[in-house]
Structure 1
């Protein structure tokens, strides 16, 4: 097993201490209002968000960030980070990526495997308000993880977190969760391949249902999750 693969597993594990498990990205409101109540509903909701938002905007942006980190283009890195922060349509979604970006940045600067790499700590510290994809791609690039492996893993980590949230909140059984991961995970290779070559003019996170769910969640009376 190669070291970059080990580092990729470290980045994509639910044990990564960035607080991802505390967020549902609007899914909790969809459950609370009855839109999502079964395994089939859950799969439909998560699949729509994955295809129409994460894989069509966040994932190609992550790929572009990796290219910019590799090329040493810190101006482009800052632009992409600002664009991602501006794309967050609600207070909760912006707070989520800022908190996770801060936590991952802090962790990376404490790890010898990152902080000892020449120039990388300084480049990461120089970014104002690092988002989660910015910090994640900094680690992936510094640890020499190929984008062809990093992008599917990034999407898988997002999918796994959504399914784990659904298991808690719908609630679903563990077997149902594994069925969802098996079925939806099968889409990841094609989505990641498309994201790697998608022109920036075609990036889109137009998903009104997700934005409404996130807005509604901000004033939801009883909540397990922070988004």
Structure 2
């Protein structure tokens, strides 16, 4: 984390599980992986989540998040619209796309309702409104920029939120005890700095989203007979 701690409250709020974006209703393919027997226990659940963070986040969305973060700082609308379209297109199934759009809209509503945020200008608001639909990573990058968060800190906050949400889903689905879940989350969190550095080293044009098993299982989840989660 950067030496300046003045923005720590904003960072903690953005990473909080209490953020009202509806992430708790999505498992991002984990529920289908359990149904298919790909995930069977605590160890395989942890590996699945680690793979998601490394392949879907660090290799895929995070480099594009960085492009959006820079574009929000520069108020570069053409880049914002183009990268947002790419982020939406990278979601391979209806449910994965729905998760990104629903949490993106909810995060935008949260951001617009924050009081005393002079850095969130009318220009930011207008450009955010033209992201149709708004990908979660695009809106998260906007929030990070207007909250004046360090790029690495904000990326780590996004990774933490994803790891925490998927670990909570694993606690319910495997199932796991709360203590076992917290131990898993700690091990995953210890890898976040390396994943962030992977994203920092990758240009937006090098973003890749090669996760065929995730796409297949997510598509199966759309017609899964019983389920707790929306994705």
The TM-score range, normalised by the shorter chain, is over 0.9
**Residue 24 of structure 1, CA deviation:** 0.2
**Residue 15 of structure 1, CA deviation:** 0.4
- 2:43 matched to 1:40? yes
**Residue 118 of structure 1, CA deviation:** 2.6
Q: 2 CA distance for matches of 1:4 and 1:129?
A: 29
Structure 1 unaligned blocks of 5 or more:
none
**Residue 203 of structure 1, CA deviation:** 1.4
- 2:110 matched to 1:136? no
**Residue 34 of structure 1, CA deviation:** 2.1
Q: Which residue of structure 2 aligns with residue 59 of structure 1?
A: 62
The residue correspondences of 1:49-198 to structure 2 (distance < 5 A) are 49-114=52-117, 117-119=120-122, 120-198=124-202
Q: Is this contact kept in 2: 1:24–1:165, CA < 8 A? A: yes
Q: 1:99-139: per-residue Cα shift (whole Å, max 9, x none)?
A: 11111112211222447733322222232211111111111
**Residue 161 of structure 1, CA deviation:** 0.5
- Label 1:115 to 1:105 Cα distance change in 2 as closer, same or farther (>3 A): farther
Q: 1:148-168: per-residue Cα shift (whole Å, max 9, x none)?
A: 211111111101110000001
Moved more, 31-40 or 79-88: 31-40
SS in 2 for 1:64: helix
Moved more, 110-119 or 68-77: 110-119
Moved more, 68-77 or 111-120: 111-120
- Label 1:115 to 1:92 Cα distance change in 2 as closer, same or farther (>3 A): farther
- 2:33 matched to 1:30? yes
- 2:216 matched to 1:212? yes
Moved more, 215-224 or 188-197: 188-197
Indicate the RMSD between aligned Cα atoms, in angstroms: 1.5
Aligned length: 227
